[in-house]
């Protein structure tokens, strides 16, 4: 039984080393090109032809830093992303201090803005109450008692 386990372990290590070797060998062959928002990838497969519009190169996230769902992140991919307690919002934060429709994030070209939607407790960016504010990577957003960090890649 012990010999069988040793043989399995040796095979596993050999496969792991081979995988690392293949990944390093293929690393130099990757060719990534930046494409525009209107570029379309069209390709045929054996079963169907698919067209896919590329998503923007930059990505934005909101990460809950303080609140019940601490650590939860939300990807912002729409031009307008609503935030609030109601299920109709794109980002739902269930907290009594967050309004039903609290704020929205607006993407305009490569810039992101946050706009308060007349919430009861207001929207704060880096400790300052705002109506509409340009967001930068690492900005701290507070919606009621919930604290989020804005990350833009």
Across 76-100, average pLDDT: 94
Q: Are 100 and 91 in contact (CB under 8 A)?
A: no
DSSP secondary-structure letter at 56? P
The predicted structure's pLDDT at residue 88: 96
| 51 pLDDT above the threshold of 60 | no
Across 68-81, average pLDDT: 90
Q: Which of 99, 108, 116 is nearest to 78 (CA)?
A: 108
Give percent of the chain with pLDDT exceeding 90.
53
The predicted structure's pLDDT at residue 47: 45
CA distance 6 to 11: 9
Across 46-61, average pLDDT: 56
pTM of the model: 0.62
| 106 pLDDT above the threshold of 70 | yes
The predicted structure's pLDDT at residue 100: 96
At 24, list the tokens.
Answer: 């390093």
Could you give the 3-state DSSP secondary structure of residue 147? strand
């Amino acid at each position: 039984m012990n010999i069988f386990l040793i043989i399995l372990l040796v095979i596993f290590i050999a496969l792991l080393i081979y995988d690392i070797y293949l990944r390093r060998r293929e690393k130099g062959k990757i060719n990534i090109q930046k494409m525009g928002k209107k570029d379309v990838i069209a390709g045929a497969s054996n079963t169907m032809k698919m067209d896919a519009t590329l998503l923007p190169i930059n990505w934005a996230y909101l990460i809950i830093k303080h609140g019940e769902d601490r650590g939860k992140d939300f990807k912002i991919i729409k031009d307008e992303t609503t935030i609030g307690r109601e299920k109709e919002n794109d980002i739902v934060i269930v907290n009594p201090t967050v309004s039903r429709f609290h704020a929205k994030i607006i993407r305009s070209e490569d810039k992101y803005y946050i706009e308060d939607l007349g919430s009861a407790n207001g929207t704060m960016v880096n400790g300052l109450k705002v109506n509409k504010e340009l967001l930068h990577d690492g900005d701290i957003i507070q919606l009621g008692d919930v604290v989020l960090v804005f990350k833009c890649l």
